[in-house]
Structure 1
Amino acid sequence: MKDTKPIQVRYEGEVATILLDRPDRANTITLQLTIDFNDALDELERDPNIACILIMGAGEKHFCGGADLREIENMMTEEGVTGDPRRDFIRHIEEVSKPVICVINGAAMGGGCEIALACDFRIMSEDAKIGLPEIRFGALPGAGGTQRLPRIVGLAKAKEMILLGNPLSADEALSAGLVTAIVPREKLLEAARDLASKLADKAPFALAAGKRLMNEALSIPLDEGLTLERRVIRDMASDEEREEFRARSAAKSSVYAGIFSATKAKSN
């Protein structure tokens, strides 16, 4: 019997993948999906063995097609389309202290695009599309699209995307600065894992502090931001945490040096 959970969480070393697992419904968002998504993020936040999170859609056609229209009324609140009444799951992505990479392996439309906008990095398949088409149906993005998109691509491009409702190809998304990289479909997951591995090598306390500071940078005055920056960097880790990270980095460097020496000796 098929597991009917709307998401799956998969682990590979220090990287966890949240898989939107409703391929027969274009991985669209339901109330249960938002609840399970929030629970997964909470669990991964607490897990000291996880350094980076990937978000991906099941199947090959869709990353996420937005909200499941059969459940849209269940997910509406006075604040908009937030899903889980306990917490806005898209906002939760931004609030998680660990870096989140969106692996756009298919069409990312409406809420799917809004999930991507909340992630720290976006890597896109060459044949995928991304957009906010709601205006075509007399609606507007209701899960942060009108606020996050201008911050990422600029006001003019955001107006073009939202007010015309036309999706972008991967090349157009890269040119607009909407995605970090585009790669062939067969190399997409490899590229995402490579980026995740590079992030996992960094100090977790510095990643968390940097993410927080940059997320707040555009919503507070510069002087306030500079004060916050000094305070957060000063307090972001204990002496023990800093020493532990230095020791871990030194150990990894020794391992890499040993591998390099062995490889060099073998080649000679």
Structure 2
Amino acid sequence: MSAVQETVTTAPGLPEFTIQGACARIRLNRERYLNRIEPDDVPALLEMLERAQDDPAIRVLVLTGTGRVFSSGYHLGDLAERRAALDTQPAGEPEPPQATSPFDVLLERLENLRVPTICRLNGSVYGGATDLALCCDFRIGEEGIEMFMPASRLGLHYYRSGMVRYVSRLGVNAAKKLFLTSQTIKAPEMLRVGYLTEMVPAGGLDAEVERLAGVLAGQAPLAVAGMKQAINELARGELDADALDARHAASLRSEDIREGVTAWHERRKPVFQGR
């Protein structure tokens, strides 16, 4: 993926955003705090995702962190603020419906991004950051990393969308172990339960991420975006069958399928234009 790199400048500590060829990269940038995600990070990350969503030249996005840990999670001060808000509610009144937090919005936007996403787990991952990584389509990490979800240890009932993601992507047994015990699991088990899509030896992370990013960037973008949407909907039990059928029919009329079939017969690499 050799091309001129464009870097979007942000304030110190905020995530970094770069574009190189067809690949956009987001890097969490609070190494001193183990890349803890702060409230100020969320609008910056949302803006970066919008940039990746709207730029047709971008075909894949890589999310990673700085230093030895991918992220220690979302800041716990948010829990204290929400608890304080409930404490001010008059006695006897029904609890208000749970409001969608900005972090929830971020996770949903990442999960449903048009382009395929790779989480480059530069290190271990904890708390809400485990869900951030789970929103990505692929998660690649080295064999020495670990993860844990401390919700039950904190007394927190996790939010709905996160539980749906864990169960639909990892299965009931893995979700129960992670949520109900707050136990740390190591990379081999992360791979076994499907949290990691690839586990690589120490020193092999960048090569595998670049390889996969190159593969994804070379696929037909309209087909990839449509099938990603369908797979996510199927996993959540929310399939819009009519929309899937419409995308299938549109692909049969696209220039991409003409190029793909021609390249197949000519035994060359296709060059897709996304139309």
Give the TM-score taking structure 2 as reference length: 0.80
**Contact 1:75–1:81 (Cα < 8 Å) also in 2:** no
- Distance, in Å, in 2 between the alignment partners of 1:36 and 1:250 is 45
1:1-268 → structure 2 map (5 Å cutoff): 3-60=11-68, 62-72=69-79, 79=98, 82-83=101-102, 88-142=105-159, 144-220=161-237, 226-236=241-251, 239-243=254-258, 253=268
Q: Return 5+ residue gaps in structure 2 as ranges.
A: 1-9, 86-96, 271-275
TM-aligned CA distance change 1:153 to 1:219, over 3 Å: closer
1:249/1:199 CA distance change after superposition, 3 Å: farther
When normalised by structure 1's length, the TM-score is: 0.82
What SS does structure 1 have at the residue aligned with 2:63? strand
Q: What does the per-residue CA deviation read over 1:142-164, in whole Å, with 9 as the maximum and x for residues that have no partner?
A: 37332211111211221111000
Contact 1:108–1:131 (CA<8 Å) still a contact in 2? Answer: yes
In 2, Cα distance between equivalents of 1:123 and 1:33:
23
Q: Which amino acid is 2:39 matched to? A: L
| Matched letter for residue 110 of structure 2 | I
Q: What displacement does 1:200 show?
A: 0.7
More helix by share: 1
| Cα drift, residue 232 of structure 1 | 2.1
Q: Would the alpha carbon gap of residues 192 and 214 (structure 1) be closer, same or farther in structure 2, given more than 3 Å must change?
A: same
Q: Deviations over 1:222-259 (max 9, x none)?
A: xx65544322211357534544666788999279xxxx
Tell me how far apart the structure 1 counterparts of residues 11 and 267 of structure 2 sit (CA, whole Å).
39
How far did 1:74 drift? Answer: 6.3
Unaligned 5+ runs, structure 1: 256-268
2-side partners of 1:181 and 1:161: how far apart?
A: 19
Distance 1:250 1:56, change over 3 A: farther
Per-residue CA shift, 1:3-22, capped at 9, x if unaligned?
A: 51410012222111100111
Helix, strand or coil at the partner of 2:119: strand
Q: What's the secondary structure of 1:21's corresponding residue? A: coil
Aligned residues of 2:28 and 2:65 also touching (Cα < 8 A): yes
The aligned residue for residue 265 of structure 1 is none
Shift, 1:80, TM fit: 5.7
Does the 8 Å contact 2:146/2:184 carry over to 1?
Answer: yes
- Provide the aligned length of Structure 1 versus Structure 2: 249
Identity of aligned residues (%): 25
